[in-house]
């Protein structure tokens, strides 16, 4: 497999035929499928807890940015008036 990839790396894509490109695509999907089998997916409990943490963080950051925007706009308004 490594030799095949080395041969393809030396050959520009525009010089390869349709059959070689389809073969490359097939190889890509086969390797992607193998890699996806190695992934350790989180369970429901972990997914729910991280989702909750993200939602809380979004609310906190939104409030912070809202307060900062309001404060800075009031300061700019006071300076310009």
Ramachandran category for residue 11: left, alpha or beta (phi over 0 → left; psi -120 to 50 → alpha): beta
Which portions of the chain are predicted below pLDDT 70? 1-14
Is the pTM for the entire model greater than 0.75?
no
Judge contact between 8 and 16, C-beta under 8 A. Answer: yes
Cβ density class 36-56: b for 16+ within 10 Å, e for less: eeeeeeeeeeeeeeeeeeeee
pLDDT number for residue 39? 94
Domain ranges of the chain: 1-39, 40-81
pLDDT number for residue 6? 54
Among the listed residues 12, 40, 9, the one whose alpha carbon sits nearest the alpha carbon of residue 27 = 9
């Amino acid at each position: 497999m490594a030799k095949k990839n080395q041969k393809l790396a030396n050959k520009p894509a525009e010089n390869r035929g349709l059959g070689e490109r389809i073969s490359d695509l097939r190889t890509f999907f086969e390797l992607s499928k193998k890699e996806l089998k190695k992934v350790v997916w989180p369970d429901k409990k972990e997914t729910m807890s991280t989702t909750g943490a993200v939602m809380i963080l979004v609310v906190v950051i939104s409030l912070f940015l809202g307060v900062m925007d309001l404060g800075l706009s009031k300061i700019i308004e006071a300076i310009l008036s």
